[in-house]
Amino acid sequence: MVHHWVQEVIVEAITSGVLSIPPPLLTVVFQELGHGMVMYQEGLQLTRVKFPFPYTTTMVLLLLMVSCITPVAFCTWTTGYVWPILFTFLSIFGFWAMHFTA
């Protein structure tokens, strides 16, 4: 719909004399608008494709394993109580945030 509006505005501006563009340049403008619309439609098709269920399940299981192993690993590599908690929270939060974002 917006694509059509943009085309209408360009055509009205040319007929009213606001835009004085030579016809060869004008065809390039409409060609690029059409190309942008095709790319938009291809992008919409990508969002409609479902992510494979086995891959998603495997990723969740691996994230759960990392969530269980990371605190133990950080406790053995660092001393004190604050650093292991901070490192564990930041790394696990980052991994889960990437998972839910993607």
Distance CA 28, CA 34 (A): 10
**Per-domain residue ranges for the chain?**
2-48, 53-101
Distance CA 102, CA 86 (A): 24
From first to last of its 102 residues, what are the pLDDT tens digits of the chain?
A: 888 999 999 889 988 988 888 888 889 999 999 999 999 999 988 888 888 889 989 999 999 999 999 998 888 888 888 888 898 999 999 999 999 887
Contact between residue 54 and residue 67 where contact means Cβ atoms under 8 Å apart: no
End-to-end CA distance of the chain: 29
